[in-house]
Amino acid sequence: MNLIDAIKNGENKQIEFKVELPNSLVLAKAVIAFSNTGGGKIVIGINDNGEIIGINKDENIFEMMDQITSIIYELCYPTILPDIYTMIVDNQLLVIIEVFRGNLLPYYLKNKGKNEGVYIRVGATNRKASFESILELERQKINVSYDQEINRSVELNSLDLSEISKRFAGIGKAFDLSAMKNLKLVVEENGSLFPTNGLLILLGVYEHVKIMCSRFKGTTMSTFLDRKEYSGDIFTQIDHAEMFIKNHIHLRSDIKGLQRVDYYEIPLEAIRESLVNAVVHRDYSNEGRDIKVGVYDDLINIVSPGGFPSTITSEDIINGRSEIRNKVIARVFKELNYIEQWGSGIRRIRTSCKDFGLKMPEIIEKGDYVDVCLFRESVFNEVVKETTLELTESEERIIKYLKTTQNKLTTKDAQTVINLGERRTREILKQMVEKGILKRVGNTTNAYYKMTDSERIY
């Protein structure tokens, strides 16, 4: 992207505007933040609204550029060597300080030291780095990911590896000690075997490794209709999260030839890829947050902790560029065929939604997390709106069960059919009665449900 287009798009992860040369400390913090993150440009002569004001004509440009060089040299450490140059845009003179991502991470203010003087770029802001962020920069310096680090506090023999073993066995691959070493799930040190963070993450040992799922009424978070928290190994978490979403979106049926074909209003490929991306690429070094899935009337929202890695932007993601944050986890997912080809997941999400007639998904870096929105406004939704009722997957399952039996269903039967707890099952049955889909027969413990005579939704 050229500078003119970048200016039009406003401040972001890789560009910052200044009306005039800022004070020394502000400039140093910005230069350090860009060096520690993905590099970027500080453009002097533009206000916060993106209006090109230009440098004051009375300003001595050469003195300004020398001053910038001196500030960076005196306040920043290790040494940062940016490109400083001028450019004419819309007949206005601008000074550009182009900073490149350094390889001597972390960079910091000399007088503050490494513990207090490190800054990073988060969205369009420069923030003081947390202790965890500094550790991550140290790892990046030696090209080691968080999930590759050894955890010596957990005994390998205490871990239940059955679920991962089952996943590998399901595709005909061995999951023995040799495989675990090759995948860097375990490391041998002084004759002893230790798990890496990657193995502990895959098993869901850490408390923050979980997915929180919620169904909200309407298009805001003001009212909950359902909420689930999934922990344990992350493969099962993905399965549960996918089922949660499917339980709260519409299912459509078409007759093709002599067969009935069922499919969801949002393609399952897009849902699965979005969940896998959230799990594989999230920042696990941030122990205070988890993945959140929200189902609204108009969209599905998946939020994953951690922004895009280093120099990656939303435009890069769409174009298929891939940079792996969690090398161990990503390799395991690739081995298990959850990942087809590096960098292809986002393209498949977008293509599958487009083919369904959906609004193009949004995949946005918002500060220090990634926000994915899969929209529900489709041709299918228009069909649903024309019908008298809207059905969830749970309701569809109950109707299908009644059609294939003697049109009789107890609460216990319903629990088995939709795989939910008794309380939630009773709520769903009550709602179906209120909608006129079912009617309740009997008022005792022997009561059961059957379909009404209405054919309006069948």
Domain 211-381 has CATH 3.30.565.60: yes
pLDDT over threshold 80, residue 253: no
**Across all residues in the chain, what is the average pLDDT?**
89
Task: Please state, as a whole number, how many other Cβ atoms lie within 10 Å of the Cβ of residue 140.
Answer: 18
The Cα 412–Cα 447 span in angstroms is 11
Q: Where in the chain is the domain with CATH 3.30.950.30?
A: 3-141
The DSSP bridge partners found for residue 138 are none
> What is the pTM assigned to this prediction?
0.75
The Cα 251–Cα 394 span in angstroms is 10
- What is residue 258's DSSP assignment? T
The CATH number that domain 3-141 falls under is 3.30.950.30
Mind listing the pLDDT tens digit for each residue in 396-446? Answer: 888 888 877 778 888 988 998 888 888 889 889 988 887 778 888 887 777
Domain 387-451 has CATH 1.10.10.10: yes
With tokens 């870096």, the residue in question is 365
- Percentage, residues of the chain above pLDDT 90: 63
For residue 455, what pLDDT band results from cuts at 50, 70 and 90? very low
The Cα 139–Cα 327 span in angstroms is 12
Residues 6+ apart with CB under 8 A from 39: 14, 98, 99, 100, 101, 311
Q: Where in the chain is the domain with CATH 1.10.10.10?
A: 387-451
Q: Where in the chain is the domain with CATH 3.30.565.60?
A: 211-381
pLDDT of residue 134: 95
The Cα 126–Cα 133 span in angstroms is 13
